[in-house]
Amino acid sequence: MKILITGASSLPGFKTTIEALKMGHEILALHHRNPIPIRHERLKTVELDICNIGELNNVVVKYKPECVIHIAALGDVDLCEKDKNLAWKTTAEPSIALAKLASNIKFFSVYLSTDYVFDGEKGNYSEYDVPNPVNYYGLVKMVGEVAFRSSGADYAIVRASSIYGLGPGRVNFAKFLIEKIEKGEEVKALIDQYTSPTYAQLLGEAILEIVERRLVDIFHVAGERMSRYEFALKIAEELGLNKELIKKVEMKDMRWIAKRPRDSSLNSEETRKILKTDFYSLNRAIQDLKNEYMRRGKT
């Protein structure tokens, strides 16, 4: 299958690209400044500013993909709040453009969304709970969901939460934690904000199953509900890191620009019934993370 992947140099994009190559697909991987750190005979890469909608359209039309996996977004929540114009151009507009292309040339779309489309008032959100974002990042991601749902083309929306793992892209909490503690530095971890950390390897595997089965629905690919502090302790214990350097903080202590949902945890029970992908338990995911960490010898 000919698959186009946006945001391929991000952690979820990288893991999805590797999984797609394992499954024998032909990939056109789009990235911005950071190159994709792999080479393969079935992998072509294009450096592209996702804000350039005209160029994005040209690349997609020329490639004629059977599937587009749209991962690229501005993931800095505070920057999205501070620079709403940038957030709209990098996250909402490309999603709208790709949804229109999907309608016109009829490719299957997989859109990576987020737990931040929810307000965090109740937690344990199902695939069909109504989004109500409390910050601009969540809003522009929700705009993407609406665009694909109203496109008239086949689509899947995959929501994830606090994606973690080792690899390229923005520093995620697990990688940040490991790097800080290795340097002997303290790490602040929230005791009163809850998410469902998603292991990037699991996310890549789930996305590829959705692509290959052409499943049209909303999916929650996420792990167990826990606070950031609980998550940090689990990682430190498994990797043999100094837990004393992990310090408890509360949401009220954080100097955020954007409001965060208190409990944006995702319920993935319905998704697990549909997908054959073996969802990683937290212990298995962290053991896998540890093995990768030990192989690399560094993060």
Compute CA 68 distance to the chain's CA centroid, rounded to the nearest angstrom. 15
Q: Which fold has domain 2-170+196-225+265-280?
A: Rossmann fold (3.40.50)
Contacts of 73 (CB under 8 A, 6+ apart): 7, 90, 91, 112, 140, 141, 144
Q: Which segments within the chain are labelled E, that is strand? A: 2-6, 26-31, 43-47, 67-70, 108-114, 155-160, 163-164, 187-190, 194-195, 198-199, 217-220, 226-227, 246-249
Cα(127)–Cα(124) distance, rounded to whole angstroms? 10
Quick: pLDDT tens for 231-269: 999 999 988 899 999 999 999 999 999 999 999 999 999
pLDDT values of the chain reduced to their tens digit, one per residue, 299 residues: 999 999 999 999 999 999 999 999 999 999 998 889 899 999 999 999 999 999 999 999 999 999 999 999 999 999 999 999 999 999 999 999 999 999 999 999 999 999 999 999 999 999 999 999 999 999 999 999 999 999 999 999 999 999 999 888 777 999 899 989 989 999 999 999 999 999 999 999 999 999 999 999 999 999 999 999 999 999 999 888 999 999 999 999 999 999 999 999 999 999 999 999 999 888 889 888 888 877 766 54
Cα(101)–Cα(95) distance, rounded to whole angstroms? 10
pTM: predicted TM-score of the whole model, two decimal places: 0.95
Domain residue ranges in the chain: 2-170+196-225+265-280
Task: Write down the residue that tokens 């292309």 correspond to.
Answer: 101
